[in-house]
Amino acid sequence: MRETRTVSVVIEGQVQGVSYRAWTRGEARARGLTGTVRNRDDGSVEALFSGAADAVAEMLTLCRSGPPGARVTGVAVRELEDPPGVSGFEILSG
């Protein structure tokens, strides 16, 4: 059995208005991850990724650059004990 890893991530920089959430959903789904992504009021994007440890690590690397048009200045990662209570990967409003 593969090790499961769950992380909460806050991505800062020019990450709203550049399709960052849609890009994140597509990349996460392509890697078989579950979780969510949403815009935050402070201009950052927050995501929750859960799945195979190697797929989560790859997603974190991708988040450091983001989609074309994004300018990421920081990525804060917090390890979580429990996987999210969702199936699939979804964009949340907010």
- DSSP for 23-52 reads HHHHHHHHTT-EEEEEE-TTS-EEEEEEEE
From 21, 31, 64, 71, the catalytic residue: 21
From 5, 25, 38, 39, the catalytic residue: 39
Closest CA to 50 of 65, 64, 37: 37
For this structure, is 21 an active site residue?
A: yes
**Whether this model's pTM surpasses 0.85:** yes
**Which domains does the chain carry?**
4-91 (3.30.70.100)
For this structure, is 40 an active site residue?
A: no
Secondary structure class of 57 (helix, strand, coil): helix
4-43 pLDDT, tens digit per residue, is 999 999 999 999 999 999 999 999 999 999 999 999 999 9
36-56 pLDDT, tens digit per residue, is 999 999 999 999 999 999 999
